Amino acid sequence: MIAPKHRFGGVRSLTHGYSRDVQVVLAHADPGVRRRFTRVLSHVGHHVEAVDAVDAAIERCRERPPDVVLVDVALCRDDEQELLAALKGDAQAYRSAVVLLERPDLDLDTAVTALRRGVQDFLVEPIGDAELVARVEAAGRTKVLQEELVVQSARLEAMLFEDPLTGLSNRRFILTQLAGAISAARRHERPLTIAIIDIDHFKAVNDEHGHAAGDRVLADVASALREHMRAEDQLGRLGGEEFLALVPDADAHVAAAAVEKLRAEVAALAVEHDGAVLAVTVSIGWATWEGESAEELMRRADEALYEAKRSGRDRVEGAPATVQRRI
């Protein structure tokens, strides 16, 4: 079904194919202009809040950031920079598209300066109804596209750095964080401990209860581990049922207690799935950095993990100190 063509004063609505209403704040000293612009934009489905001063416009934008801010340049000729700084410096209002209502004598240098300060577009008098609607909708589309880019960027970042099942850092990112943690420990001469955490008998969970149950176990274990780690600690999923914890500023004595607490917290979990309660335990191998490479540190922690599993699982084992400390 084709949408009807709206007309106002001989102007066809440009909202066909663009269903999103544009939220507009209009700042203009002339009440006649405010009434006309409000009438035209409202007629084609947009919402307008009209004010008569820049300060009022800034206040409205901070309270509820609009898609588009229409500002008569005569209101801010002396403090245009202040207006833009107030809007673009606000945590929410900076996304609003600013369109200046300009006089016919607008020169190139003035326009370029305003654009570089954050102005999206200009409407130069005399301003027809069609041009008003077209520019407002174009600015509204630009704002929507900018928001979509922000969302897409966040999704891309999550894909690059986040494990989708647990929400933890993925293998690539946690190993990058490990390299950074070692660099910081070396630079500041501070201790660092890492722990490799492995869910016991995880294959049996998948085989007996299905992969959905396995996913639930992974997510619940990750949540329990993260909840009981310090804010400065880092946790990532190495892959499968293995996790890597980075515990900065923790020597062997502190690390032993902290890692044992993680084991106990997981052992206390009762993972529910399809009416069944699954008991979960983890084996943990940890190692305190002694000046070696990330690969060597990981190898020592992995050997300690193997010893924990060989000794019966649901255990914590620390890697023995090396004979010679390498700095």
Residue 32 has pLDDT above 50, yes or no: yes
Does the pLDDT of residue 19 top 70, yes or no? no
Judge whether residue 200 has pLDDT over 50. Answer: yes
Q: Which pLDDT does position 81 carry in this prediction?
A: 61
Q: Looking at the domain 7-159, which fold is it?
A: Rossmann fold (3.40.50)
Cβ–Cβ under 8 Å, residues 70 and 57: no
DSSP secondary structure string, 251-281? -HHHHHHHHHHHHHHHHT-EEEETTEEEE--
Domain 171-318 bears CATH identifier 3.30.1490.270: no
d(CA 15, CA 244): 52
185-207 per-residue burial string, b: 16 or more CB within 10 A, e: under 16: beeeeebbbbbbbbbbebeebbe
Domain ranges of the chain: 7-159, 171-318
Residue 189 bears catalytic tag: no
- Least confident range from 27-36, 112-121, 132-141, 142-151: namely 142-151
Fold match between 7-159 and 171-318? no
> What is the per-residue pLDDT across 287-306, written as a single tens digit (0 to 9) for each?
999 999 999 999 999 999 99
d(CA 246, CA 176): 11
pLDDT in tens, 237-284: 999 999 999 999 998 889 999 999 999 999 999 898 888 889 999 999
What tokens were used for 18?
A: 């663009």
Distance, in Å, from the CA atom of 317 to the CA atom of 308, rounded to the nearest integer, reads 5
Contact 285, 255 (CB under 8 A): no
Residue 187 has pLDDT above 80, yes or no: yes
Task: Identify the three-state secondary structure at position 210.
Answer: coil
Dist CA 191 CA 207 (whole Å): 41
Q: Is the pLDDT of residue 6 over 70?
A: no
Q: Minimum mean pLDDT among 17-31, 39-53, 112-126, 277-291: which range?
A: 17-31
Q: Do you find a cis peptide bond into 126, omega within 30 degrees of 0? A: yes
From the candidates 80, 102, 241, 317, give the one annotated as an active-site residue: 241
Within 8 A by CB and 6+ apart from 260, the residues are 316
Q: Any residues with CB less than 8 A from the CB of 124 and at least 6 apart, and which?
A: 102, 103, 104, 106
Q: How far is CA 234 from CA 51, 181, 195, 315, in A?
A: 49, 10, 11, 21
